[in-house]
Structure 1
Amino acid sequence: MIKLPSGIELQNLIDNLRILSWEASEKLTYYAQIVKDSNGKRNILRNDNFEDPVTLADISVNEIVINKINQLYKDVNWKILSEENVKSGPYNPNINQDWVWILDPLDGTKDFIQGTTNYAMHLALNYKKRPLIGIVLIPERDELWFAVGCELWCENRNGVRIKPKPLKRKSLQEMSLVTSKNHGNTTLNKLIKKINFKEVIIMGSIGCKIASIVRRDSDIYICLSLPGMSSPKDWDFAAPEAILKASGGNITTLDNKDLIYGKSNFEQGGIIVASNNINNHKNICSEIEEIIREGDLFPL
């Protein structure tokens, strides 16, 4: 049994998270239909920054989740770190306290605007800066992934649970890589070519990528943030990390260290590797590191 703040009953919390997740799913699919109309697409945009867009879907789901948590648990000593609240102005949720919710109401906003199915909602509860509970909601697949400690399951809107396929140990060259659609990175592309993966799958949303690994549709994801460029943030990785680790996979920095949450800039920079098998993960990271060194691809 995992530890929760005083007065919180686990099953009740899970039930409430399930309700708010499907409410968020309805809102996301509602706006997804609007996006299919070119005029509707313009109407839901709330900024002019194509590299970091914000839509009505982001804002609406942000309000749904935060309001629901605050209403249901108004006396609980936890804080909420949300991507949209950070974007909207100075925001300090006291990330150094023990319990912090980490929310990305719409991961894969660019893909969402482009009308693809690769978008997700992330919600994680971190305890002492480590993900304890994680939710990755993928509306277009009717998938709600739950990780509670070491326990993992996926359910659809009707409550039917979906079981992932068994784990397989694979060499680096036997793996299928899932990589980004909207984040061009010449250094990462060079690395991908040198490794010569069995297959390269293009997909938006980190949550969708990690879920594809958990689902066994792919095997590995590599995130490489170039110096001076923008990096993923805590809300991109906290919930996906929870479901991946609960599935038997792992996600670390290239030197096989756990991701560190709660830094002042919320950034997850450098090279991050997510793979399908924790028992093989360290060797995979070492092999990738050696390829990077031999090719002098990235400062290590």
Structure 2
Amino acid sequence: MKSPLSHLTLADILERTIELSQTAAVILKSYYRVSRDRLEVLDKAEGPVTVADKAVDRHLLDGIQAMCGDSCGYLTEETYQAGDLELPQDWVWIIDPLDGTRDFIDKTGEYAIHIALTYQHRPVLAVIAIPESDRVYAAIAGGGTYQIDADGLRTVVRVKGGKDLSELIIVASRNHRSKKLIELLARLPCQQQLKVGSIGCKIAAIVEHHADIYVSLSGTSAPKDWDLAAPELILTEAGGKFTHQDGSCLKYNCGDVSQWGCLVASTGEWHQQLLDACV
């Protein structure tokens, strides 16, 4: 696939995005270690926002816009306004500067940075940085997923199968657990759960073989494009699957940034059986 920039390949853009995510992680870690009152927490309907969210959002936007300019659209959690229309560009960056703000505030360590580049509504490049583990996950469509550790070592990561359906481990939220979701999870043919914060951290748990399934079920609200675009590509390029309950793929920058309904992410081995159990 061609790059949105004539002078840079997607691989070039990915390298620059990885570097940007690493400097953003340093900023987040500096805020993570201050007291709650210095974070200037603002509670909003969709969840809390802090000065850390805003600082990293600005850092990422400045860096990516310096690289791509007007050749791309930009959709971020901190700049989106309710009612905004679909961005007209074929290439759109979708960014969450701090996924897992509640976990960031509560000091669980399970927060992440999500950066995805989409082309015609589908992700083609993704980076997830997890500051507290000093790890970055990166992928280009068709190129697999790899992890970068604190020493810069790059390792290809793949999901792991071989379990019976009943042995699968569900990675679930501590905070976003509606009655409907609890009831749905109780119907699944597997009942082991691992509690993890950010969606990026959840997907990292799957590609690192600590869990096998993640299920999202919207209620009065739903996960947004910036929650899912980067995690989806990281998982699928590692061999997993991430779909709506009917098996259809997710699409991004479609006007409504909410991803309504039931979404299932898995190692892929029992994906259809899990979809059937979520009806």
Report how far residue 197 of structure 1 moved.
Answer: 2.3
Task: Indicate whether 1:282 and 2:276 are aligned.
Answer: no
TM-score (norm 2): 0.93
Query: What is the CA–CA distance in structure 2 between the aligned matches of 1:257 and 1:10, rounded to whole Å?
Result: 26
Report how far residue 90 of structure 1 moved.
Answer: 7.0
The residue number in structure 2 matching 1:182 is 175
Q: Structure 1: where are the runs of 5+ without partners?
A: 35-39, 290-300
The residue number in structure 2 matching 1:3 is 2
| Structure number, greater radius of gyration | 1
The residue number in structure 1 matching 2:225 is 234
TM-score (norm 1): 0.86
Once structures 1 and 2 are overlaid, which stretch shifts more, 165-174 or 77-86? Answer: 165-174
Query: What is the CA–CA distance in structure 2 between the aligned matches of 1:45 and 1:172, rounded to whole Å?
Result: 45
Report how far residue 156 of structure 1 moved.
Answer: 1.5
For the residue of structure 2 that corresponds to 1:85, the secondary structure is coil
For 2:204, the aligned partner's letter is: A
The residue number in structure 2 matching 1:22 is 22
For the residue of structure 1 that corresponds to 2:33, the secondary structure is helix
The residue number in structure 1 matching 2:114 is 122
- Count of residue pairs brought into register by the alignment: 277
Report how far residue 169 of structure 1 moved.
Answer: 4.1
The 8 Å contact of residues 45 and 53 in structure 1, kept in 2 or not, is answered as no
Evaluate the alpha carbon distance shift between residue 30 and residue 270 of structure 1 in structure 2; reply closer, same or farther with a 3 A threshold.
Answer: same
Q: More strand per residue: 1 or 2? A: 2
Superposed CA deviations along residues 56-75 of structure 1, whole A, max 9, x for unmatched, are 1101110111001112233x
Report how far residue 261 of structure 1 moved.
Answer: 1.4
The residue number in structure 2 matching 1:265 is 256
The residue number in structure 1 matching 2:71 is 77
Once structures 1 and 2 are overlaid, which stretch shifts more, 151-160 or 118-127? Answer: 151-160
The 8 Å contact of residues 250 and 281 in structure 1, kept in 2 or not, is answered as yes
Once structures 1 and 2 are overlaid, which stretch shifts more, 19-28 or 2-11? Answer: 2-11
Query: What is the CA–CA distance in structure 1 between the aligned matches of 2:9 and 2:159, rounded to whole Å?
Result: 31
Task: Indicate whether 1:57 and 2:52 are aligned.
Answer: yes
Superposed CA deviations along residues 105-140 of structure 1, whole A, max 9, x for unmatched, are 000000100011110000000001000001111111
Query: What is the CA–CA distance in structure 1 between the aligned matches of 2:184 and 2:68, rounded to whole Å?
Result: 46
Query: What is the CA–CA distance in structure 2 between the aligned matches of 1:189 and 1:118, rounded to whole Å?
Result: 21
For 1:54, the aligned partner's letter is: V
The residue number in structure 1 matching 2:140 is 148
Evaluate the alpha carbon distance shift between residue 197 and residue 280 of structure 1 in structure 2; reply closer, same or farther with a 3 A threshold.
Answer: closer
Report how far residue 46 of structure 1 moved.
Answer: 4.5
Report how far residue 96 of structure 1 moved.
Answer: 3.5
Report how far residue 194 of structure 1 moved.
Answer: 2.8
Q: Structure 2: where are the runs of 5+ without partners?
A: none
* C-alpha RMSD of the superposition: 1.9
Query: What is the CA–CA distance in structure 1 between the aligned matches of 2:207 and 2:159, rounded to whole Å?
Result: 10
Query: What is the CA–CA distance in structure 2 between the aligned matches of 1:50 and 1:99, rounded to whole Å?
Result: 29
Report how far residue 207 of structure 1 moved.
Answer: 0.8
For the residue of structure 2 that corresponds to 1:187, the secondary structure is helix
Task: Indicate whether 1:209 and 2:209 are aligned.
Answer: no
Report how far residue 276 of structure 1 moved.
Answer: 0.8
Structure with bigger RCO (C-alpha 8 Å, 6+ apart): 2
Report how far residue 11 of structure 1 moved.
Answer: 3.5
